[in-house]
């Protein structure tokens, strides 16, 4: 194994040319991810192959070395593009001056290196033997509290085993505690395991105080997910179960909460260079027992999308209901941001909206709507939702604002599971009453 001392710039996974004389890789040396040609002996500096303003990554060399297929990040999303490569010249042939618009003509072939040792026998790939461990950080910031996470994150070179170990400090609704989570993607079904301990205090919020929801809990969740892409879209299935030990801080009562859940989702897309449309949908359910009382819950969502040039317009709606004998920790909570600490499958009753206070409304039933207009990383939105119990439906809780979704700038191979956002919104509600502007942001990572 040879370590190439190229420079201090990050490099993505490489691809070999068919003659094994060069490597093609994505490099961040210029501040924008572009493809470069790399000498595997480290004798020459990397040579640029592309010069894009978005990002070029994920190279795959065509058989015969006639070109390189790669992913290109544009304002419309990620496209697959092909870069033609010059072919080796015939001996004695005259080479036109413009025959190599990207690469210079190849020089004389180098003499092969002398063989000094036998090639080692092949061995099975082991994810643990190729782990790359690096520091990890995350946060959620808002008027009702902040949370900061710090720890380590690791993955192998093929991306089969991804894990994090982190601690969280925060105030108010922001969870404090720790997490140890991992995902194994070496099977047709991706397996996730999430162990955590958290302290949450919605009763310390400024706009909506939910002292009865203050809780300390620890436990875990394990699940599996499967997805299959098609030419028209994607189909996904996921299921899992978890258990927690929960202590209410307002009454100092301890009890257990166990549940199982499943969800099926599908997406459909049709578009050309100018316009297009699409649909998303999901339907899921949960069942469990909290403090000895059983309950069940369902939740569905749907979204229609329209594409017009660089603009994407969408409208989405979702609804859900709860049956049985749920506690206040099992019914729907409307509002609040997601967190690295908490496993999503354990809290499917939480309808996340980072602009709204945590648990702005709670109830056995809920419904919400959201309309968006997106150009590149900027999203303008209007949303409204409400949650209620046996009583009549309360007035809507509303939010009107904009977000920068910075996670869309990160190539999937470099930031899978990473979400970065910054937003500003005007929120209103009558029950409970609030009317204010809120700035919020977050960096959330899940394996």
Residue 123 banded pLDDT, cuts 50, 70, 90: confident
Domain boundary among 46, 69, 84: 84
Please check whether residues 305 and 398 belong to one and the same domain. Answer: yes
Count of Cβ atoms closer than 10 Å to residue 295 Cβ:
21
Query: What confidence tens digit (pLDDT) does each residue in 187-231 have?
Result: 899 999 999 999 999 988 888 899 999 999 999 999 999 999 998
**Residue 410 pLDDT:** 65
pLDDT of residue 106: 59
Q: Is residue 118 part of a domain?
A: no
Among 144, 150, 189, smallest CA distance to 438 is for 144
What is the pLDDT of the chain when averaged over all its residues?
86
Winning range, highest mean pLDDT, from 99-108, 181-190, 297-306, 351-360: 297-306
Q: Is 360 helix (H, G, I), strand (E, B) or coil?
A: coil
Range of the domain at 411: 130-445
Same domain, 315 and 372: yes
Least confident span in 46-60, 257-271, 345-359: 46-60
Please report, rounded to a whole number, the percentage of residues in the chain having pLDDT higher than 70: 88
Q: Looking at the domain assignment, is residue 94 inside a domain?
A: no
Residues 39 and 160 in one domain: no
Domain termination residue (choose one: 60, 84, 108): 84
For residue 334, the domain's CATH number is: 2.40.160.50
Tell if the pTM clears 0.75, that is, is over it: no
Rounded-to-integer distance, Cα 270 and Cα 279, Å? 9
pLDDT value, residue 105: 52
Same domain, 30 and 167: no
Count of domains in the chain?
A: 2
Kindly list the strands in the beta sheet with 47-48, ordered across the sheet, starting from the edge strand earlier in the chain.
15-16, 23-27, 34-38, 47-48
Name the least confident of 119-128, 175-184, 249-258: 119-128
Degrees (nearest 5) of the Cα angle 420, 423, 424?
A: 170
* Average pLDDT estimate for 422-444: 92
Is pLDDT above 90 for 392?
A: no
Poorest-confidence range of 3-7, 88-92, 314-318? 88-92
Neighbours of 90 (CB within 10 A): 8
Residues 71 and 140 in one domain: no
Confidence at residue 190, expressed as pLDDT on a 0 to 100 scale: 94
- Cα(423)–Cα(372) distance, rounded to whole angstroms? 14
Give the Å distances, CA to CA, from 412 to 26, 53, 56, 182, 278. 13, 17, 12, 18, 21
Through-space distance between the first and last CA atoms of the chain, rounded to whole angstroms: 29
Q: Per-residue b/e over 48-60, b at no fewer than 16 CB within 10 Å?
A: ebbeeebbbbbbe
In a domain, 113, yes or no: no
- Better pLDDT: 380 or 105: 380
What does the pLDDT look like over 335-365, one tens digit per residue? Answer: 988 888 899 899 999 999 999 999 999 999 9
The answer to whether the beta carbons of residues 349 and 326 sit under 8 Å apart is no
C-alpha count within 13 angstroms, C-beta hemisphere, residue 410: 15
Max CA pair span of the chain: 90
Most confident of 89-93, 98-102, 311-315: 311-315
| Segment among 5-14, 210-219, 333-342, 416-425 with least mean pLDDT | 5-14
Does 286 lie in the same domain as 137?
yes
* % residues pLDDT > 90 (the chain): 49
Q: What is the pLDDT of residue 91?
A: 46
Asked if residue 47 belongs to a domain, the reply is: yes
| Residue 221 CB neighbours (<10 A) | 23
**Domain identity same for 70 and 136:** no
Same domain, 370 and 433: yes
* pLDDT over 70 (residue 437): yes
pLDDT at 64 over 50: yes
Query: Is residue 92 packed enough to be buried (19+ CB in 10 Å), middle (13-18) or exposed (0-12)?
Result: exposed
Tell me the average pLDDT across 181-189: 91
- Tell me how far apart the alpha carbons of residues 21 and 110 are, in angstroms, rounded to a whole number: 10
Q: Worst-scoring range by mean pLDDT, 2-16, 134-148, 345-359?
A: 2-16
Query: Does residue 177 belong to any structural domain of this protein?
Result: yes
* Long-range pairs for 347-352: beta carbons < 8 A, 24 or more residues apart: 348/261, 348/263, 348/284, 348/286, 348/297, 348/299, 349/286, 349/297, 349/322, 351/318, 351/385, 351/387
Q: Is position 105 within any domain? A: no
Residue 255's Cβ-count burial label (10 Å; 0-12, 13-18, 19+) is middle
Distance CA 358, CA 417 (A): 23
Q: Is residue 355 part of a domain?
A: yes
Same structural domain, 383 and 234: yes
The pLDDT of 422-436, averaged and rounded, is 94
Residue 90's pLDDT is 46
Q: Are residues 340 and 441 in the same domain?
A: yes
On whether both 269 and 360 belong to a single domain, the answer is yes
pLDDT at res. 417 = 67
Instruction: With cut-offs at 50, 70 and 90, classify the pLDDT of residue 295.
Output: very high
Residue 228 lies in a domain: yes
- Residue 57: per-residue pLDDT: 85
| Residue-level pLDDT at 113 | 63
Between 417 and 349, the more confident residue is 349
Residues 55 and 164 in one domain: no
């Amino acid at each position: 194994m040879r370590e190439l001392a190229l420079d201090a710039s990050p490099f993505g996974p490489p691809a070999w040319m068919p003659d094994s004389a060069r490597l093609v890789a994505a490099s961040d040396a210029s501040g924008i991810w572009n493809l470069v040609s790399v000498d595997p002996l480290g004798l020459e500096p990397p040579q640029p192959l592309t010069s894009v303003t978005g990002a070029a990554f994920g190279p795959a060399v065509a058989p015969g070395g006639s070109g390189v297929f790669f992913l290109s990040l544009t304002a419309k999303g990620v496209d697959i593009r092909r870069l033609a490569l010059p072919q080796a010249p015939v001996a004695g042939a005259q080479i036109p001056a413009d025959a190599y618009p990207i690469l210079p003509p190849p020089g004389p072939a180098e003499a092969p290196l002398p063989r000094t040792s036998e090639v080692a026998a092949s061995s099975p790939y082991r994810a643990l033997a190729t782990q790359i461990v690096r520091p990890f950080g995350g946060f959620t910031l808002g008027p009702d509290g902040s949370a900061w996470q710090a720890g380590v994150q690791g993955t192998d070179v093929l991306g089969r085993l991804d894990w994090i170990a982190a601690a969280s400090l925060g105030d108010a609704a922001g969870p404090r505690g720790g997490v140890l989570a991992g995902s194994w993607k070496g099977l047709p079904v991706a397996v996730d395991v999430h162990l955590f301990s958290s302290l949450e205090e919605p009763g310390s919020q400024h706009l909506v105080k939910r002292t009865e929801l203050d809780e300390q809990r620890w436990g875990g969740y394990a699940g599996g997910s499967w997805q299959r892409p098609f030419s028209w879209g994607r189909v996904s299935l996921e299921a899992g179960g978890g258990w927690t030990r929960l202590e209410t801080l307002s009454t100092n009562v301890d009890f257990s909460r166990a549940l199982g859940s499943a969800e099926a989702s599908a997406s459909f897309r049709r578009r050309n260079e100018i316009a297009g449309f699409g649909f998303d949908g999901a339907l899921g359910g949960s069942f469990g027992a909290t403090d000895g009382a059983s309950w069940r819950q369902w939740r569905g969502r749907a979204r229609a999308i329209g594409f017009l040039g660089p603009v994407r317009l969408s409208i989405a709606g979702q609804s859900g209901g709860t049956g049985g004998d749920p506690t206040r920790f099992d019914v729907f909570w409307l509002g609040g941001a997601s967190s690295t600490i908490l496993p999503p499958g354990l809290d499917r009753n939480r309808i996340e909206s980072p602009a709204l206070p945590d648990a702005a409304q709670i109830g056995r039933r809920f419904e919400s709507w959201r309309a968006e207009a997106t150009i590149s990383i900027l999203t303008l939105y209007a949303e409204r939702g409400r949650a209620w119990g046996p009583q009549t439906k309360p007035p809507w809780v509303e939010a009107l604002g904009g977000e920068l979704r910075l996670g869309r700038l990160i190539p999937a191979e470099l930031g899978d599971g990473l979400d970065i956002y910054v937003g500003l919104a005007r929120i209103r509600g009558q029950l409970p009453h609030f009317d204010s502007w809120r700035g919020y942001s977050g960096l959330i990572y899940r394996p």
